[in-house]
């Protein structure tokens, strides 16, 4: 059996397995390897989505009865401690006779957390914090949603270098090039829901689908969400979306997120327009910014953001740049609200 400090390679393997899980939906992507007394892997598992076996149970289910007794489970996320669609993984590990559990990051969920304490109370050795930074980055969207009790919110806009999203006559197609626009479709595909305001539907009549280079529908489609109190036309393109649109006649963006969380959405992609985007920013409800910049100047007052509550320079919303990528002649800047030490997973054995 590996020493307490020798689980990095096994955790890396568990993380590889976690990538097999679905990137959308309310549940996290989790991987697990079970290691025998000789340090060799005897079973592997991962979570395949809501209603399916969690990673630990998936791995245990591949072993004959009694084979897990005295073994070590290496799992990317602290084993859950509640009954939802399935039972608690902490109990499953205890009943299987697992002697040691190694995990990367703690479960911040009010209902699902606490598995480590339950394991320790049952006499199972628990080691936490192995590859916490790497796994924490992978699970960032789910951890944020679990900690805040709402979906992870990505806001996207495309603008000229001077921050304009349209010309003075309202035309905006196209500010950015084909490579940037295709990346947007890929990001839509990786989201549970795509959110726009009624103003965008009335002005642009978007379909809000995720499409490939040839205009074909991609395999996964976000559920379209239209927010606002104005009526939309009966023949609006969004009403022909593969998923039935969610129409929310409100301006309460926090309420919108509560609704979408209740529907089982983990990742929400807010795509417009400036009134809706500004409301999310002003409310402090944005976890990630995707800003596409075209090498052009437009001028005028069609800005990407309106009033976000900043009245003096000391109130400006500070961001951390995560990455800058060139797509054709355009730039994609990925940024997040400035991180605090408390929000950064700690690496190391705990």
Q: The domain spanning residue 71 has which CATH number?
A: 3.40.140.10
For residues 202 and 330, membership in a common domain is answered with yes
For 282-329, write each residue's pLDDT tens digit: 999 999 999 999 999 999 999 999 999 999 999 999 999 999 999 999
For residues 334 and 191, membership in a common domain is answered with yes
For residues 218 and 293, membership in a common domain is answered with yes
For residues 94 and 232, membership in a common domain is answered with no
For residues 238 and 121, membership in a common domain is answered with no
Q: How far apart are CA 319 and CA 89, in angstroms?
A: 37
**Could you tell me the residue range of the domain that residue 110 belongs to?**
8-146
| Average pLDDT over every residue of 177-184 | 94
Is 76 a domain residue?
Answer: yes
For 27-42, write each residue's pLDDT tens digit: 899 999 999 988 899 9
Tell me how far CA of residue 341 lies from CA of 44, 134, 338, 345, 346, in angstroms.
Answer: 33, 16, 10, 9, 9
For residues 169 and 195, membership in a common domain is answered with yes
Active-site residue identified among 44, 56, 189, 271: 56
For residues 249 and 122, membership in a common domain is answered with no
For residues 208 and 239, membership in a common domain is answered with yes
Domain closes at, from 116, 146, 176: 146
For 219-274, write each residue's pLDDT tens digit: 999 999 999 999 999 999 999 999 999 999 999 999 999 999 999 999 999 997 89
For residues 134 and 158, membership in a common domain is answered with no
For 316-339, write each residue's pLDDT tens digit: 999 999 999 999 999 999 999 987
* Of residues 314, 325, 339, the one with CA closest to residue 184: 325
Is 213 a domain residue?
Answer: yes
For residues 278 and 163, membership in a common domain is answered with yes
Domain closes at, from 108, 129, 146: 146
What total of structural domains would you count in the chain?
2
Q: How far apart are CA 341 and CA 106, in angstroms?
A: 16
| pTM for this prediction | 0.85
Residue 347: the pLDDT is: 46
Summarize the chain as % helix, strand, coil (round to 5). 25, 25, 50
271 is catalytic: no
Do the bridges between strand 193-197 and strand 267-272 make them parallel or antiparallel, or are there none, so unpaired? Answer: parallel
Q: The domain spanning residue 211 has which CATH number?
A: 3.40.430.10
Residue 167 near residue 301, CB atoms below 8 Å? no
For residues 288 and 301, membership in a common domain is answered with yes
pLDDT band at 24 (very low <50, low <70, confident <90, very high): confident
For residues 172 and 202, membership in a common domain is answered with yes
């Amino acid at each position: 059996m590996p020493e307490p400090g020798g689980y990095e390679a096994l955790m890396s393997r568990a993380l590889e397995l976690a990538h097999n899980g679905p990137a959308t939906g309310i549940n996290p992507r989790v991987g697990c390897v079970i290691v025998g007394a000789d340090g060799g892997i005897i079973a592997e598992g991962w979570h395949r989505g809501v209603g399916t076996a969690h990673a630990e149970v998936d791995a245990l289910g591949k072993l004959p009865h009694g084979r897990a007794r005295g073994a070590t489970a290496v799992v990317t996320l602290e084993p859950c401690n509640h009954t939802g669609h399935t039972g608690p993984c902490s109990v499953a590990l205890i009943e299987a006779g697992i002697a040691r559990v190694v995990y990367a990051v703690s479960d911040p969920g009010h209902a699902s957390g606490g598995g480590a304490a339950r394991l320790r109370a049952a006499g199972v050795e628990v080691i936490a914090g192995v590859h916490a930074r790497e796994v924490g980055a992978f699970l960032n969207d789910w951890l944020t949603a679990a900690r805040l009790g709402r979906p992870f919110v990505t806001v996207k806009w495309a603008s000229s270098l001077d921050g304009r999203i349209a010309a003075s006559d309202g035309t905006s197609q196209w500010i950015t090039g084909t490579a940037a626009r295709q990346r947007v479709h890929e990001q839509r595909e990786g989201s549970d829901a795509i959110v726009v305001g009624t103003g965008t539907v009335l002005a642009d009549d978007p379909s809000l689908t995720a499409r490939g280079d040839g205009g074909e529908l991609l395999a996964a489609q976000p559920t379209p969400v239209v927010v606002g109190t104005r009526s939309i036309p009966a023949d609006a393109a969004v009403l022909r979306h593969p998923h039935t649109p969610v129409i929310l006649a409100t301006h309460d963006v926090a309420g919108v997120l509560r609704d979408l969380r209740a529907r089982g959405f983990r990742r929400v992609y807010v795509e417009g327009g400036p009134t809706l985007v500004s409301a999310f920013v002003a409310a402090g409800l944005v976890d990630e910014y995707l800003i596409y910049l075209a090498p052009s100047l437009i001028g005028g007052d069609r800005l990407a953001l309106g009033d976000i509550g900043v009245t003096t320079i000391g109130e400006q919303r500070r961001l951390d740049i995560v990455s800058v990528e060139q797509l054709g002649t355009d730039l994609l800047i990925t940024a997040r609200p400035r991180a605090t030490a408390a929000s950064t997973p700690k690496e190391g054995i705990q």
